[in-house]
Amino acid sequence: MIVLKTSRELALMKEACRISAEALKIAGQAVEPGVTTAQIDKIAYDYIISQGAQPNFLHLYGFPATACISINEEVIHGIPSESRVIKEGDLVSIDLGAKINGYNGDNAATFAAGKISPEAKRLCDTTREALYEGIKKAVAGGRIGDIGSAVAGYCEQRGYSVVRDYTGHGIGAKLHEGPEVPNFGTPGRGIRLLPGMTIAIEPMINEGRAQVKTLSDGWTVKTVDGKLSAHFEHTVAITQDGPVILTEL
Ligand code: MG
């Protein structure tokens, strides 16, 4: 179901998104060689709780942590672990959100551990830029396909693949609401974008092929070809005055 938010609801979401963005920033700052993904998860958890909010991924569909932390060929949904130590040159994707006053925020970014390869940096930069290309198309009167087409076009031109098995989503009182927000599509197709819609746009971009598989832990999604993946996400409100990035600090 797609829920259009009032300005009062948008104000409440803005607080959830601010906390989500701060938590992601702090978690990202903790990424360095020698740190475990469980330590990063704890930092995000402690910050969200300190703000009087709740980590909204924790226990959702049974997920056991505050953040999804996915390294290198892992795309999304990596489970933080005390035995997972970040190494020099790793690409560390962190996805997390917070809920407060009944509303949710959701955001993700890929961080470099120490010095990364030029190839890894180009993938990261392209994925972040593709997110902003998609956000530009989150305008009232447009269509959902405009967003996905912009994201995919930007990445595919640069030789990358767009993960198609997972998409962005509407967000509000529920972390996952309608509509689906694919990172591919046809301009002018799909549902019409209306003021008051709040959506999470989240390109997952692969260095190699688009195909992904889920590991035996039931959560971690990785590239089938073992090549790198990056992930950036913002929660965005569609307004009469254009897109507003709620998770931008
Ligand atoms: Mg999301």
Give the environment of ion ligand 1: residues with CB less than 5 A. Answer: 106, 200
DSSP H/E element including 170: strand 168-170
Ligand 1 mean position to 168 CA, how many Å? 6
* pTM (2 d.p.): 0.98
In the predicted model, what is the mean pLDDT of the chain?
Answer: 98
Q: What are phi and psi of 204, to 5 degrees?
A: -115, 110
Is residue 234 a contact partner of residue 227, using CB atoms and an 8 Å limit? no
119 pLDDT tier (thresholds 50, 70, 90): very high
**133-186 pLDDT, tens digit each:** 999 999 999 999 999 999 999 999 999 999 999 999 999 999 999 999 999 999
Ligand 1 mean position to 162 CA, how many Å? 16
Ligand 1 mean position to 69 CA, how many Å? 13
Q: What is the mean pLDDT of residues 216-224?
A: 98
Contacts of 228 by beta carbon, 8 Å cutoff, 6+ apart: 72, 73, 91, 119, 120, 123, 206, 207, 208
Q: What pLDDT score was predicted for residue 35?
A: 98
Domain parsing of the chain, residue ranges: 7-245
115 pLDDT tier (thresholds 50, 70, 90): very high
Please say whether the structural domain 7-245 has been given the CATH code 3.90.230.10.
Answer: yes
Q: What is the mean pLDDT of residues 197-224?
A: 98
Q: What pLDDT score was predicted for residue 177?
A: 97
**11-64 pLDDT, tens digit each:** 999 999 999 999 999 999 999 999 999 999 999 999 999 999 999 999 999 999
Q: What pLDDT score was predicted for residue 124?
A: 98
Which residues on neighbouring strands pair with residue 99, listed in sequence order? 54, 104
